[in-house]
Structure 1
Amino acid sequence: MRYGEPDDLFDRPEVPVRPFEFDADVARVFPDMVRRSVPGYAELVGLAGLIARRVARPGTQCYDLGCSLGAVTRSILRHTAADVRVVAVDNAPAMVDGLRARLRDVEGADRVEPVCADVQSLSIERASLVVLNLTLQFIPLADRLALLRRIRAGLIPGGVLMLAEKVAVPTEQEGAFLQVLHEDFKRANGYSELAISRKRTALEQVLVPETIEMHEQRLAEAGFSRHCRWFQSLNFVAWVAWT
């Protein structure tokens, strides 16, 4: 597998649009796709490592749930001590295979446990940090609270959840403005009108965003004692929540 191939998946009018999935084709172009599609992605990844440096405790585990090719995993690895393990979980075999390939020459890679599994059925233990970076939005709405409760139960006292999501804006005018800016961001990064339209159609069937208020209410319902909204770039928002 070559790394960093250009994302041209949605520039093929002869290919029918189907619901988005993290298959081998997406894994092949994912670094380029996420860089050109998600405003602030590099900052989210880098800051995940800095958060880990502050909250990871000796002898505990950090979880990267929905790890894709492991950008957050590697960021955590760079900023944590040798006795902190990182459990990197994704349900897409192509992503886990890509993660393993990217860890081959990474110092401290023996601290990472790649796991191909559904995050909804994963056992979380002795966690000082759990990261859900653009992952919850792909979980069915009815299952999101149960997942957050499972995460909360697996965190040690003082443990932290980092949650980043694309959010819905309830005000029609403001929501439309952010949507247009997001599409302008993609255009500025070289995406064609065809690709923007076809990817939007593919994602509409699997990515269900919620409002900031819905996310924050769910964090409280899941048992987190407090939360802090610390990042926003257009309609992408991130929180940290404490046990």
Structure 2
Amino acid sequence: MVDKIFEKSIKKQFEFDEDVASVFDDMLSRSIPFYKQMQELTIEFALNYLQKDDTVYDLGCSTASTLIELGKQSNFDLNLIGIDNSSAMLSRASKKCKAFGIDIKLRNEDLLDTSYDNAKLVISNYTLQFIRPLQREKLIKKIYDSLKEDGIFIFSEKVISSNKVLNKQCIDTYYDFKKKQGYSEYEIAQKREALENVLIPYTDDENKKMILDAGFSHCEVLFKWVNFATFIAIK
């Protein structure tokens, strides 16, 4: 379905409910620049590290698109686990998994309360930004502790610049992108208001510091477009 959620007045904060789930795949492709390329890059780097029967977690898996693509492209069996606290998202994920014939365990759980046993790879695409800073740091530490010694963490986030002028230019460039995808200025303004105090982005340096403080030996940017970035962290 086509994302038209913000064509009408929104009187609540953004949440991953049934309305959002029903248009989520379209929302991703039109709201996040180079989302498909980022996803392909994530899978390419993941397959460089993964071996048969390794366990992969996708945190905030939404409709399971990334895990489905990983399962399709892998030449060996993987233990794929998708975690999300939105039942609406997981319902659609389950249908997609069946349609593509990919075996993925879907868990409706809180990311801070669940376990990541025997993890070789943890993926998080535009999920950390929705977690409050103090809780975010706890989650990163939990991910680090759960990963095998040679494990990796690949995550994508909306980022901000510490330079106010540059940050404004980045936001303007991003809004121009959304307009080219067919979103009106009213829709853009509505979504921005709905996300206020819900989505809390970090700078590149803040993301890297959070990762290294948790114990990871290395973290760097794999891909970046203006204010969207994909990072890889190595334990």
- Whether TM exceeds 0.5 here: the answer is yes
**Equivalent in the alignment of 2:149:** 157
**1:217 alignment partner AA:** K
**1:195 alignment partner AA:** E
- Write out the 4+ residue segments of structure 1 that deviate beyond 3 Å after TM superposition: none
Q: Displacement, 1:58? A: 2.5
Question: Structure 1: how far apart are the matches of 2:53 and 2:95?
Answer: 26
SS for the counterpart of 1:231 is strand
**Equivalent in the alignment of 1:210:** 202
SS for the counterpart of 1:87 is strand
8 A Cα contact 1:60 1:84, kept in partner:
yes
SS for the counterpart of 2:231 is strand
Match runs of 1:106-121 below 5 Å:
106-107=100-101, 109-110=102-103, 112-121=104-113
Question: Structure 2: how far apart are the matches of 1:134 and 1:19?
Answer: 17
**Equivalent in the alignment of 1:192:** 184
TM-score, structure 2 normalization = 0.97
- Consecutive unaligned residues of structure 1, counting only runs of 5 or more, are none
**Equivalent in the alignment of 1:19:** 13
**Equivalent in the alignment of 1:233:** 225
Question: Structure 2: how far apart are the matches of 1:173 and 1:219?
Answer: 27
8 A Cα contact 1:34 1:41, kept in partner:
yes
**Equivalent in the alignment of 2:137:** 145
8 A Cα contact 1:130 1:160, kept in partner:
yes
8 A Cα contact 1:225 1:242, kept in partner:
yes
Question: Structure 2: how far apart are the matches of 1:96 and 1:82?
Answer: 25
**1:226 alignment partner AA:** H
Render the CA deviation track for 1:71-130: whole Å, top value 9, x for unaligned. Answer: 1111221233443111001100000000001011223x22x1011111111101111110
8 A Cα contact 1:57 1:128, kept in partner:
no
- 1:39 and 2:33 aligned: yes
The worse-fitting range, judged by mean Cα deviation, of 81-90 and 113-122 is 81-90
**Equivalent in the alignment of 2:165:** 173
RMSD: 1.1
- 1:125 and 2:125 aligned: no
Q: How many residues align?
A: 235
Q: Displacement, 1:17? A: 2.8
**Equivalent in the alignment of 1:7:** 3
- 1:75 and 2:52 aligned: no
Q: Displacement, 1:135? A: 0.4
- Consecutive unaligned residues of structure 2, counting only runs of 5 or more, are none
Question: Structure 2: how far apart are the matches of 1:83 and 1:6?
Answer: 34
**1:7 alignment partner AA:** D
Q: Percent identity?
A: 32
Question: Structure 2: how far apart are the matches of 1:75 and 1:50?
Answer: 11
**2:8 alignment partner AA:** R
